Chain A
Amino acid sequence: MNRENSHKPEWSERIKEWARDFGVARSIILLFLVILLVAALIMGLPMSQLFSSILSRFGMNAILVLAMIPTIQSGTGPNFGLPLGIACGLVAAVLSIELDMRGFQALFFAVGLGALLGAVTGYLYGLLLNKVKGQEMTVGTYFGFSIVSLMCIFWFMAPFKSPEMIWPYGGSGLRVTIALQDRFDKVLNNFMEFEVFGASIPTGLLLFVAVFCLIVWIFMRSKTGVALSTVGANPRFAESCGLSVNKYRVIGSVFSQALAAVGIVIYAQTFGFIQLYMAPLYMAFFAVASVLIGGASLNRATVWHAIIGCFLFQSILVVSMPVANVLVEENLSEVARIIISNGIILYALTRREAGGDVR
């Protein structure tokens, strides 16, 4: 242990270290993706279509994955309570239709109101998390499930009038799937869209995601963001710096749920439909899996982890579907999605290091 640390590491050591940092999980996923891509090429699948599909699905999910960063950094682990923020975003989106808004107006109204509602509920959720320190992930998971069920009652009871949204044969309650065709379906995707080698690039969507990446990146470097990371890295250390651990955990939750609300609006925008009722049930898991594939751990995550992870995860889903269809004539994409996401979460949980607030 007394070895001097002053010498520069050898190149071979550096490569080893780089390989170790890259991680087993990421390597396997990357290898899997490469195999799928090669298979797709051999089968002569339309690569340009696959590529634009990857870009579109990446943008669709990216903000939900970004929502993982504030909670992971503040020490409450990946935000398994994501359905709470998602519900807020859905309420805002549904309201934009009820108020008969269209196009960018509807989108920005939904994003703004969703973020506001997400922040308010995120504050309350943060208070809850402070009561269950050490088991945020388990509590968050079941909290998320409960919220989805609770919202089912809301969707059913809420006095919405818009004929686009209530059941066509009358009665009360919202439909399971609400089409956005005349509302804000793909307004971002189509904004400044262009084609390269037959692949369409959803410029507006990617720009929007880039802005949010930048917001998160800047936030994590602000005084508050650094404090938040300090609280997550070592609560005792944070206390000795005069920081209130509970306060910054709540801030992390607020920011995360607000991002989740924005994320689901963007998701619906690209998808073209608002999915209510049980649809958000497993969304947290896919987002958690994405950020973990990107190289984040349960207590450290960066914007890059979210971007890389989201891209890898969505790429596999996009490419595996047609490949599997050619090979086995069954739709295995959904199965692959569940296996990968749960497998990755399991892998991350087994590697959880003991620690946290040890007093």
Chain B
Amino acid sequence: MVVARLEMRGISKEYFGNKVLKSVNLSVAPGEIHALVGENGAGKSTLMNILFGMPVIRNTGGFEGKVFIDGKAVDITSPEEAMAHGIGMVHQEFMLLPGFTVTENIKLNREITRPNFASRFFGEKLETLDFYRMREDAKKALRRMELDLDEMLPVAGLPVGFMQFVEIARELDKETLNLLILDEPTAVLTESEAETLLQVMKRLSSQGISILFITHRLNEVLQVADNITVLRDGEVVAELESRKATVDQLAELMVGRKIEVTSRSERHSTENVKPVLSIRDLHVDMPGESVHGVSLDVMKGEILGIGGLAGHGKIGIANGIMGLFPSRGSVYMDGKEVRLNSPISALNSGMAFVSEDRRGTGLLLEESIELNIAVQAMQSQDKFLKKIILLRIADMKAIREHAQKMIKELDIRCTGPDQLTRRLSGGNQQKVCIAKALTLEPSILFVSEPTRGIDVGAKKIVLDLLVRLNQELGVTIVMTSSELAELRSICDRIAIIYKGRLEGILPIDASDRDFGLLMAGELSYHRKEAS
């Protein structure tokens, strides 16, 4: 049997007591294309960070398990060492210098130089670049992908797809490269660009380079991969040959998990209820989460979940409606149109928002809890103000009383209403954000990623709180989350967003397979095939 190019055995990793990888095994043969699939947060990136020796791993206490390259046990502690072992990685975000040419980017920090007069005195940092040989090398790397690209063009004007190829060429140019890691390489590409990339991958593997690639697009996996490893919650749930796998099967494996016990006593039926909020053809220009024409109805009294993979625009919807990012389309609240691109009119029409960007948008970190809770209501609804002659002055006593009430009701753990929010734990910060939104007495509450970055115990408390608000105060809630299990535990219906569009709405008891298919966009893929 051939010795595996890469073998990872029993890899486990903890982040602050949170197990993100549980004894993962992975093996890649020479010249094999191996796909790694899984939901956001399944542990794919962590696994790749371990393999590539990223400092974040070491800084958070290292990992357990062993890594073998070509049969030899290795201990990779830095990206430089990983490169020395022949591992190259193309990251999701491009790491290119836009003003430099393709050649310069490919040879960056590995330039070929000639000694000259100055360098004899001042060392090799001052040697002249040997542009001729650098161009030759760049050409060679591009030719291996059978690409026709002028190596002297500046990177800035290239189409996104070509930038990706320049990244790959940079890795190919390293003589020792024999394992290439691609982190969601097709996420930013158009369909034809993705097609070319897949062909390039096949070509490289026929030259003996092993490729490990991470993706959400299941049809691509089946198209190019030899073998597939499915990760879920930090565990390998399946290793299969792609010849024998189907899209349905992968979708189910990716999503399937025990649904946590629901904390809701009863769910609303959405039939015969009037929509309280109607979204029509909403476009939102939010970087990384853009929305391209979503139409959606939110029923009175329900908890609507919005799910989907990261980067597909589910987060953009609430941000767009609340006027935080440029948007167009129309939104009707109780039949009345709400002006877009205007946070104040969104707030005045009875909507409130708990932002996913808790520390950036959600809180004044250097201010007290009481002020954080009161400020939004003070500015948009003139609450907590008393009139002295002509001036409206903040009523500190009312603010304090209200904060104390909220601290008690939401069980915010703090030293007092005057504590700075920066000093609170993630869960308690989230409660302050919710208290802030509740102070507006909204009829619709948008909640984005309410459990991001908070520990497991606090997650449940936050979710229970949302359910309580819905049941006791009758607040309609629209919750956006990357964690499907979380949505399924408290929502009435779940809308899945794919590529900025509504892919479908499912009841919470729909099968894992259906959710997986919607999230991977397989339905629209097949629709397109059929038409």
Q: B29 to chain A: closest CB distance in Å?
A: 42
Contact of B362 among A8, A226, A237, A242 (CB under 8 A): A237
CA distance A249 to B45 in the complex (A): 42
B43 at the interface (CB under 8 A from A): no
Q: B96 to chain A: closest CB distance in Å?
A: 22
B353 at the interface (CB under 8 A from A): yes
Q: B420 to chain A: closest CB distance in Å?
A: 10
B177 at the interface (CB under 8 A from A): no
Stretch of B57-65, B233-241, B423-431 at the chain-chain interface: B423-431
* Nearest A-chain residue to B357, judged by Cβ: A236
Contact of B391 among A7, A222, A230 (CB under 8 A): A222
Chain A residue contacts of B296, Cβ below 8 A: none
A328 at the interface (CB under 8 A from B): no
Is the CB–CB distance between A223 and B363 below 8 Å?
no
Chain A residue contacts of B382, Cβ below 8 A: 223
- Chain A, range 147-198, C-beta contacts under 8 Å to B: none
Chain B residue contacts of A221, Cβ below 8 A: 393-394, 396
B75 at the interface (CB under 8 A from A): no
A113 at the interface (CB under 8 A from B): no
Chain A residue contacts of B109, Cβ below 8 A: none
A2 at the interface (CB under 8 A from B): yes
Contact of A5 among B344, B385, B414 (CB under 8 A): B414
Contact of A240 among B343, B371, B424 (CB under 8 A): B343
B403 at the interface (CB under 8 A from A): no
Number of interface residues, chain A, beta carbon within 8 A: 30
Is the CB–CB distance between B424 and A5 below 8 Å?
yes
CA distance A219 to B394 in the complex (A): 10
Is the CB–CB distance between A300 and B357 below 8 Å?
no
CA distance A240 to B380 in the complex (A): 10
Is the CB–CB distance between A239 and B343 below 8 Å?
yes
Q: B40 to chain A: closest CB distance in Å?
A: 22
Is the CB–CB distance between B364 and A242 below 8 Å?
no
CA distance A184 to B382 in the complex (A): 44
Is the CB–CB distance between B414 and A6 below 8 Å?
yes
Hey, what's the 0/1 contact readout for B416-458 against A, CB within 8 Å counting as 1? 0001000111101000000000000000000000000001001
Is the CB–CB distance between A227 and B379 below 8 Å?
yes
Chain B residue contacts of A6, Cβ below 8 A: 413-415
Is the CB–CB distance between A226 and B394 below 8 Å?
yes
Chain B residue contacts of A225, Cβ below 8 A: 394
* Nearest B-chain residue to A238, judged by Cβ: B379
Is the CB–CB distance between A240 and B324 below 8 Å?
yes
- Chain A, range 214-243, C-beta contacts under 8 Å to B: 218-219, 221-223, 225-227, 230, 233-234, 236-237, 239-243
Chain A residue contacts of B419, Cβ below 8 A: 5
Given A222-B394, A223-B394, A242-B343, the answer on whether A230 and B360 have CB atoms closer than 8 Å is no
**How many pairs, one residue from A and one from B, have CB atoms within 8 Å of each other in the complex?**
99
Given A234-B364, A240-B361, the answer on whether A2 and B393 have CB atoms closer than 8 Å is no
CA distance A233 to B362 in the complex (A): 12
Is the CB–CB distance between B367 and A240 below 8 Å?
no
Q: A15 to chain B: closest CB distance in Å?
A: 16
Is the CB–CB distance between A236 and B360 below 8 Å?
yes
Is the CB–CB distance between B394 and A1 below 8 Å?
no
Hey, what's the 0/1 contact readout for B337-359 against A, CB within 8 Å counting as 1? 00000111111100001010100
Chain B residue contacts of A227, Cβ below 8 A: 379
A3 at the interface (CB under 8 A from B): yes
Is the CB–CB distance between B413 and A4 below 8 Å?
yes
Is the CB–CB distance between B367 and A222 below 8 Å?
no
Q: B510 to chain A: closest CB distance in Å?
A: 34
Most chain B C-beta atoms within 10 Å of own C-beta, residue among A5, A6, A300:
A5
B243 at the interface (CB under 8 A from A): no
B334 at the interface (CB under 8 A from A): no
Chain A residue contacts of B172, Cβ below 8 A: none
CA distance A70 to B355 in the complex (A): 28
CA distance A358 to B357 in the complex (A): 12
Number of interface residues, chain B, beta carbon within 8 A: 48
Is the CB–CB distance between B364 and A233 below 8 Å?
yes
Q: B348 to chain A: closest CB distance in Å?
A: 8
* Nearest B-chain residue to A7, judged by Cβ: B415
CA distance A241 to B384 in the complex (A): 15
Q: A226 to chain B: closest CB distance in Å?
A: 6
B150 at the interface (CB under 8 A from A): no
Is the CB–CB distance between B361 and A230 below 8 Å?
no
Given A5-B413, A236-B357, A237-B362, the answer on whether A242 and B379 have CB atoms closer than 8 Å is yes
CA distance A229 to B409 in the complex (A): 28
Is the CB–CB distance between A1 and B353 below 8 Å?
no
* Nearest B-chain residue to A9, judged by Cβ: B415
Is the CB–CB distance between A237 and B361 below 8 Å?
yes
Interface secondary structure of B, over-half rule:
mixed
Is the CB–CB distance between B413 and A230 below 8 Å?
no
CA distance A9 to B423 in the complex (A): 13
Is the CB–CB distance between B353 and A240 below 8 Å?
yes
Is the CB–CB distance between B415 and A223 below 8 Å?
no
CA distance A5 to B379 in the complex (A): 29
CA distance A57 to B126 in the complex (A): 58
Given A8-B415, A242-B380, the answer on whether A233 and B366 have CB atoms closer than 8 Å is yes
Chain A residue contacts of B361, Cβ below 8 A: 234, 236-237, 239-240
Q: A70 to chain B: closest CB distance in Å?
A: 15
- Chain A, range 301-359, C-beta contacts under 8 Å to B: 358-359
Hey, what's the 0/1 contact readout for B366-383 against A, CB within 8 Å counting as 1? 110001000110111010
Contact of B364 among A5, A7, A9, A237 (CB under 8 A): A237
Q: A224 to chain B: closest CB distance in Å?
A: 8
- Chain B, range 385-418, C-beta contacts under 8 Å to A: 385, 388, 391-394, 396, 413-415
Is the CB–CB distance between A218 and B343 below 8 Å?
no
Is the CB–CB distance between A239 and B425 below 8 Å?
no
Hey, what's the 0/1 contact readout for A1-43 against B, CB within 8 Å counting as 1? 1111111110000000000000000000000000000000000
Is the CB–CB distance between A240 and B355 below 8 Å?
yes
CA distance A221 to B396 in the complex (A): 9
Is the CB–CB distance between B367 and A5 below 8 Å?
no
Chain B residue contacts of A242, Cβ below 8 A: 323, 342-348, 379-380
B211 at the interface (CB under 8 A from A): no
Chain B residue contacts of A222, Cβ below 8 A: 391-394
Given A233-B367, A239-B343, A242-B344, the answer on whether A223 and B375 have CB atoms closer than 8 Å is no
B322 at the interface (CB under 8 A from A): yes
Is the CB–CB distance between A218 and B391 below 8 Å?
yes
Chain B residue contacts of A3, Cβ below 8 A: 425
Chain B residue contacts of A239, Cβ below 8 A: 323-324, 343, 361
Contact of B322 among A233, A234, A240, A243 (CB under 8 A): A240
Chain A residue contacts of B344, Cβ below 8 A: 242
Contact of A2 among B345, B392, B423, B425 (CB under 8 A): B425
Chain B residue contacts of A8, Cβ below 8 A: 415
Is the CB–CB distance between B363 and A237 below 8 Å?
yes
Most chain A C-beta atoms within 10 Å of own C-beta, residue among B324, B355, B364, B426:
B364
Contact of A241 among B379, B392, B423 (CB under 8 A): B379
Is the CB–CB distance between A223 and B379 below 8 Å?
yes
* Nearest B-chain residue to A235, judged by Cβ: B361
Contact of A223 among B287, B392, B455 (CB under 8 A): B392
Chain B residue contacts of A243, Cβ below 8 A: 379
Question: Which 3 pairs across A and B sit closest by C-beta, in order of nearness?
Answer: A242-B344, A236-B361, A242-B343
Q: Can you give 25 contacting A-B residue pairs, CB < 8 Å? A: A1-B425, A2-B458, A5-B413, A5-B414, A5-B423, A5-B425, A6-B414, A7-B415, A218-B388, A223-B378, A223-B382, A226-B379, A230-B375, A230-B379, A234-B363, A234-B364, A237-B362, A239-B324, A239-B343, A240-B324, A240-B343, A240-B362, A241-B343, A241-B347, A243-B379
Residues of B within 8 A of A (CB): 16, 287, 322-324, 342-348, 353, 355, 357, 360-367, 371, 375-376, 378-380, 382, 385, 388, 391-394, 396, 413-415, 419, 423-426, 428, 455, 458
Q: A233-B367, A242-B345 are in contact. List 16 more A-B contacts (CB 8 A).
A: A3-B425, A5-B413, A5-B428, A221-B394, A223-B379, A223-B382, A223-B393, A225-B394, A226-B375, A226-B378, A236-B357, A236-B361, A241-B376, A241-B380, A242-B343, A359-B287
